[in-house]
Structure 1
Amino acid sequence: MTLTAREIDSQPRIWREALTHVERATALLARPGERVLVIGCGTSAFVAESFAALRESAGLGITDAAYASEPRVWRGYDSVIALTRSGTTTEVLEALSAVPAGVRTIAVTGVADSPVVAGADDVLLLDFADEQSVVQTRFPTTFLLLARAAFGEDVSALPAEAEAVLARPLPIDVSLLSHFVYLGSGWTYGLAQEAALKIREAAQAWSESYPLLDYRHGPLAVAGPGSLVWTIGRSDDTLVEQIEAVGAQVVTGSHDPLIELAQAQRLAVAVAELRGLNPDTPRHLTRSIVLG
Structure 2
Amino acid sequence: MTLTSREIDSQPVIWQQALDTLADRATARLTARGARVLVLGCGTSAFAAESFAALREQAGFGETDAAYASEPWPWRGYDLVVLLSRSGTTTEVVQAFDRIPAGVRTVAVTGVADSPVAERADDVLLLDFADEESVVQTRFPTTFLLLARAAFGDDVGGLPAQAAAALSQPLELDPAALSHFVYLGSGWTYGLAQEAALKIREAAQAWSESYPQLDYRHGPLAVAGDTSVVWIIGEEAPGIVDDIAVTGARVVTSTHDPLVELVQAQRLAVAIAEHRGLNPDTPRNLTRSIVLS
Scaled by the length of structure 1, the TM-score of the pair is: 0.99
RMSD across aligned positions (CA): 0.6
Rounded Cα–Cα distance in structure 1 between residues aligned with 2:214 and 2:40? 26
Partner amino acid for 2:239?
T
Partner amino acid for 1:15?
W
Contact 1:180–1:229 at 8 Å: present in 2 too? yes
Matched, 1:45 2:11: no
Counterparts of 1:236-251 in structure 2, within 5 Å, are: 236-251=237-252
Rounded Cα–Cα distance in structure 2 between residues aligned with 1:37 and 1:61? 11
What does residue 220 of structure 1 align with? 221
What does residue 273 of structure 2 align with? 272
Partner amino acid for 1:65?
A
Rounded Cα–Cα distance in structure 2 between residues aligned with 1:137 and 1:97? 29
Three-state SS of the structure 2 residue aligned to 1:86 is coil
What does residue 5 of structure 1 align with? 5
Three-state SS of the structure 1 residue aligned to 2:78 is coil
Partner amino acid for 2:94?
L
What does residue 138 of structure 1 align with? 139
CA positional deviation for 1:288? 0.2
Rounded Cα–Cα distance in structure 1 between residues aligned with 2:15 and 2:3? 18
Three-state SS of the structure 1 residue aligned to 2:239 is helix
CA positional deviation for 1:118? 1.0
CA positional deviation for 1:155? 0.5
Residue by residue over 1:91-142, the C-alpha shift from the partner in whole angstroms, topping out at 9 and shown as x without a partner, is 0010122200010011000001101111100000000100000000000000
Rounded Cα–Cα distance in structure 1 between residues aligned with 2:65 and 2:117? 20
Rounded Cα–Cα distance in structure 2 between residues aligned with 1:75 and 1:32? 17
Three-state SS of the structure 2 residue aligned to 1:220 is helix
What does residue 19 of structure 2 align with? 19
Partner amino acid for 2:197?
A
What does residue 197 of structure 1 align with? 198
Three-state SS of the structure 2 residue aligned to 1:18 is helix
Scaled by the length of structure 2, the TM-score of the pair is: 0.99
Three-state SS of the structure 2 residue aligned to 1:236 is coil
Counterparts of 1:33-182 in structure 2, within 5 Å, are: 33-182=34-183
- Count of residue correspondences: 292
CA positional deviation for 1:193? 0.1
CA positional deviation for 1:274? 0.5
CA positional deviation for 1:152? 1.1
Residue by residue over 1:55-94, the C-alpha shift from the partner in whole angstroms, topping out at 9 and shown as x without a partner, is 0001000000000011222100000000000000000010
Partner amino acid for 1:140?
P
Partner amino acid for 1:245?
V
Percent identity between the two aligned chains: 75
Partner amino acid for 1:85?
R
CA positional deviation for 1:236? 2.2
Rounded Cα–Cα distance in structure 2 between residues aligned with 1:252 and 1:109? 32
Where do 4+ consecutive residues of structure 1 move more than 3 Å? none
What does residue 260 of structure 2 align with? 259
Rounded Cα–Cα distance in structure 1 between residues aligned with 2:163 and 2:65? 29
Partner amino acid for 2:186?
S
Structure 1 spans left out of the alignment, 5+ residues: none
With 257-266 and 147-156 compared, the bigger mean Cα shift is at 147-156
Contact 1:71–1:95 at 8 Å: present in 2 too? no
